[in-house]
Amino acid sequence: MPGHVLVEAAGVKSYSTFVKGAVSASALDHGETIRLVPDENRGVRKGFVPLSDLDMLLLSTCQDDELGAAVREVISRST
């Protein structure tokens, strides 16, 4: 079963149920910068697709609270 570990951790009965309510984002470490990219949830068959036009770029030297706020913002941009 695809994503069985996620299904168990989320406490749902199927991967399909998990995906229906999921949001996703990526954090990419580029050395001096961190790029946060939200994803569009296109369902079980199509998966998650990056929404690169809604990304955020931070300096890798940013404070933890800045990074946390940016992660929350990027997740809110995920659909």
**Residue 79 predicted with pLDDT over 90:** no
Beta bridge partners of 40: 49
The secondary element (H helix, E strand) that includes residue 29 is strand 25-29
6 within 8 A of 12, measured Cβ to Cβ:
no
Provide CB contacts within 8 A for 43, sequence distance 6+. 19, 20
Q: Tell me the average pLDDT across 33-57.
A: 95
**Residue 2 predicted with pLDDT over 70:** no
Percentage of the chain surpassing pLDDT 90?
A: 68
